[in-house]
């Protein structure tokens, strides 16, 4: 099957859907994980980041100091653009490498901030959006990560609006008021449908 783009706001259940897709046989290209690897100790993006922002952006282990960087890009749009100019091409290159290694298997690009006009949108033949209410997002992330409600809401405010995400979806998975098992089952049914497109048009 052609590549799938997977997106959803924080706490929507996107990672749970990604795992269910892997269970169906998809190969996951997790752009967040790639970004983390690029900025972990010894990560390939660190020299350019240190050059652009100063060595003070690295922590004692030599990894990117995430909270310091978050503070800086939160306050300064130009800094955000500079960081993205370093990271995005490297993420793209690594994603291409992983996708090429997938061979015939279906690639799922897991992209938290999948924008309507972006390399990911162009690569993906279909988009799956995992959706739930903002209150549910808050509840899940507060429980999962121990963040305050205000922190979760400020992250949500920085992500794409729900309506924008849903407008580009070929399938919206409503992950509200259902169990994780029902969620996985929904993913399996979508996978089956997209893998057997002819079964609904037989006379």
Q: Which residues bind ligand ADP (CB under 6 A)?
A: 8, 10-16, 140, 144, 175, 178-180, 183
Q: CB nearer to ligand ADP: give 3 or 11.
A: 11
Minimum distance from CB of 116 to ligand ADP (Å)? 19
Q: CB nearer to ligand ADP: give 118 or 159.
A: 159
**Closest by Cα among 120, 93, 160 to 6:** 120
Q: CB nearer to ligand ADP: give 15 or 31.
A: 15
Minimum distance from CB of 83 to ligand ADP (Å)? 21
Minimum distance from CB of 148 to ligand ADP (Å)? 16
User: Which pair of tokens denotes residue 79?
Assistant: 């800094």
Q: Which residues of 168-198 are buried (b: 16+ CB within 10 A; e: fewer)?
A: bbeeebebeeeeeeebbebbeebbeebeeee
Place of tokens 């449908």: 193
Minimum distance from CB of 72 to ligand ADP (Å)? 23
Q: CB nearer to ligand ADP: give 15 or 39.
A: 15
Q: CB nearer to ligand ADP: give 2 or 182.
A: 182
- Long-range CB pairs of 176-179 (<8 Å, 24+ gap) are 176/131, 176/132, 176/133, 176/136
Minimum distance from CB of 151 to ligand ADP (Å)? 14
- Count of residues in the chain: 203
User: Which pair of tokens denotes residue 141?
Assistant: 């992330």
């Amino acid at each position: 099957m052609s590549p799938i783009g997977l997106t959803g706001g924080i706490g929507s259940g996107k990672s749970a859907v990604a795992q269910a897709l892997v269970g169906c046989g998809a190969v996951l290209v997790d752009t967040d994980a790639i970004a983390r690897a690029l900025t972990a100790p010894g990560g390939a993006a660190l020299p350019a980041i240190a050059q652009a922002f100063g060595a003070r952006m690295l922590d004692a282990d030599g990894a990117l100091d995430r909270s310091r960087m978050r503070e800086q890009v939160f306050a300064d749009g130009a800094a955000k653009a500079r960081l993205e100019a370093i990271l995005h091409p490297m993420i793209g290159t690594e994603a291409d490498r992983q996708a090429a290694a997938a061979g015939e298997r279906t690639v799922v690009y897991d992209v938290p901030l999948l924008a309507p006009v972006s390399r990911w949108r162009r690569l993906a033949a279909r988009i799956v959006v995992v959706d739930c209410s903002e209150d549910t997002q808050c509840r899940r992330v507060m429980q999962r990560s121990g963040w305050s409600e205000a922190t979760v809401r400020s992250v949500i405010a920085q992500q794409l609006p729900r309506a924008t995400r849903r407008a580009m979806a070929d399938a919206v998975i409503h992950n509200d008021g259902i169990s994780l098992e029902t969620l996985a089952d929904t993913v399996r049914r979508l996978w089956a449908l997209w893998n057997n497109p002819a079964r609904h048009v037989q006379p």
